[in-house]
Structure 1
Amino acid sequence: MQLPALDLLARYAHLLFALVWVGHNYANFIQNPRFVPLQNGIDTATLNRDLEVRMRREHGIFRYASIVVWATGMAMLWQRGWLADALLLQGPLAVIGLGAWIGTFMLLNLWLVLWPHQKKLLGFVPATLEERVRCSRITFLSSRSNTILSFPLLFLMAAGGHGLHFF
């Protein structure tokens, strides 16, 4: 069943929310080029104020943008009848399928690793200062993993639609 308007909407939603999600990772990478651990001697009130400011600035809609990106990508593959072959990495759809698997890993990393630790770091979930220090490192590494994975992901997305004959 062809629904050109729905396909166009899915494409633009996929692109727009990918810019939000990946853009957040890149901005975080530029703002914090290296890991700086939380200090054990810092005043908790100062820490909470600092984290609240960072939360407002950095942690808005990007987590939900990841769900929109993933869902619209899977929906477009399904609507074209490509989903099974792409996810099984079969034939020429293996390129876009590999991108889909990387995107799935990035989504799972965000929601199952980064976000649970980030909630402790930001004070949404009670945690000791020592645990917050540990969570800051895990959050940093998880975020960097997604940033690094976004490069092959974007390449595979583009190659799947505009350079497939090279593979």
Structure 2
Amino acid sequence: MDKFLGNLHAVLAISLVLAIGLMFAPWFAPPLGVWNGVFQWLHVFFGITWVGLLYYFNFVQIPTMPSIPAELKPGVSKYIAPRALFFFRYAALLTVVTGLILAWLYDELDDALLLRENARLIGIGMWLALVMAANVWFVIWPSQKKVLGLVEADDAAKAKAARLAMMASRTNVLLSLPMLLAMTNYH
């Protein structure tokens, strides 16, 4: 069992096989059809990954970095942060894409994006998520590439980029709770 559970890829593969097997169970009947059920599942998975990493960065990594001895910081900045940021940004993208597909499957995409009364709550959640995803891709990631040395930047530019990335990330924390409230209370 140690060997199996020690292999993340094997665990994920078996988890996926179990989930797919569950989809073929005779009593698996999402109220709006199988495709809707699959996209809800994917949307929640990617959303948990995205928001979980957002909280990891803001509750763990950012507050802890100042107390890490200088000689150990490269372990975070060269190995942990780039990998976490990869999953962070692609989870954001896939959360938005699956969310838009769900809104389309519900035939609520236009009403939600236009904040019409019948879909205003989910629309607010969608707009908050879109702002958050834009922060990830157009502010946080470009700034982090400078901070992590993935693109060339002098020390002043790195310091400015670090501050900008942190402010955008904290903005996403600020928006995350109302976004989650809107998303979880609409349907």
TM-score range, shorter chain: 0.7 to 0.9
Q: Distance in 1 between matches of 2:45 and 2:177?
A: 17
Q: Distance in 1 between matches of 2:38 and 2:179?
A: 21
Verify the 8 A CA contact 2:65 2:73 in the aligned structure 1.
Answer: no
Partner of 1:110: 136
Structure 2 unaligned residues grouped into runs of 5+: 1-30
1:16 maps to a residue whose letter is F
Deviations 1:21-57 (A, max 9, x none): 00011112221465978xxxxx9x9865551034256
Verify the 8 A CA contact 2:85 2:141 in the aligned structure 1.
Answer: no
**Higher RCO (CA 8 Å, separation ≥ 6 residues):** 1
| Count of residue correspondences | 154
- Pick aligned residue for 1:123 from 127, 138, 149: 149
1:146 aligns with 2:172: yes
- Pick aligned residue for 2:115 from 89, 93, 99: 89
Give the superposed CA RMSD.
Answer: 2.5
1:7 aligns with 2:36: yes
- When residues 50 and 95 of structure 1 are mapped into structure 2, their CA distance, relative to the original with a 3 A threshold, is closer
Deviations 1:74-104 (A, max 9, x none): 1111112111111111122001001000001
Partner of 1:156: 182
2:42 maps to a residue whose letter is A
SS at match of 2:186: helix
